[in-house]
Chain A
Amino acid sequence: DIVLTQSPGTLSLSPGERATLSCRASQTVTSNFLAWYQQRPGQPPRLLIHSASFRAAGIPDRFSGSGSGTDFTLTISRLEPEDFAVYYCQQYGSSTTFGPGTKVDI
């Protein structure tokens, strides 16, 4: 199975700042089949990005995804109060696995 590692574990920032989250895969992710989710407390995950860089329907353009192969990045250009949450990456090039998450807090 492909193991995903996310860093940092926790990112402490303020509203208006830029957030950069990393996801590294133990093997090349086929066809860059990499997704990002946001999960707020008490809520199910919400799909933000699929295929590494494509925003899901209704997702604000302050969220962007990049990367290929084994290294991927989620960038939030200017943090809004509702963006403080846990973010998971998921690969689906070989079966599917999730990363352990990055918590973005104030």
Chain B
Amino acid sequence: EVQLLESGGGLLQPGGSLRLSCVASGFTFNNYAMSWVRQAPGKGLEWVSHISSSGDITYYADSVKGRFSISRDNSKNTLFLQMNSLRAEDTALYYCAKKRDGLRPGEFDYWGQGTLVTVSS
């Protein structure tokens, strides 16, 4: 059974930093590209960042480019999102999502339950 378990969310002030993690199980992690997708409270879905299966190619939404960094440790089946210079508008539930197949950001066939990030003074 595929499982994605996010952690690392919390409450922090504007300008702060946070590192999210997502531990994967039930599939061969190093064969699949992965993404982070967020959902502000009561709002829709927003794709944030994406990384290739090997970790050498990354993509970012314009809203987070230069502030967020995605990475992965295939030896530990773990995906990361380093979030710096956080803003109130980054407040959201952050989901880790598995790409169904292929390299580029696209359709996600498995999602975690999410970890909540709240940015407020």
Q: Give A residues with C-beta under 8 Å from B.
A: 1, 33, 35, 37, 44-47, 50-51, 56-57, 88, 90, 92, 95-101
Contact = CB atoms under 8 A, between A and B. Distances in A.
Contacts of A56: 100, 107, 109
B107 A50 contact: yes
Interface of B: 44-47, 50, 59, 62, 95, 100, 104-109, 111-114
Nearest to B106: A92
A90 B45 CA distance: 9
Contacts of A45: 45, 95, 108, 111
B47 A44 contact: no
A92 B109 CA distance: 14
Nearest to B60: A95
Give the dominant DSSP class at A's interface: loop
A97 to B, nearest CB: 7
Contact of B100 (A1, A50, A96, A98): A50
Contact of B45 (A46, A88, A95): A88
Contact of B106 (A33, A44, A46, A57): A33
Contacts of B108: 45, 47
Given A35-B106, A44-B95, A47-B108, A88 B44 contact: yes
Contacts of A50: 100, 106-107
Contacts of B114: 44
Contact of A57 (B95, B104, B109): B109
B44 A47 contact: no
B107 A90 contact: yes
Which are the 8 A-B pairs with shortest beta-carbon distances? A92-B106, A44-B111, A50-B107, A35-B107, A96-B105, A98-B45, A47-B109, A96-B47
Contacts of A1: 62
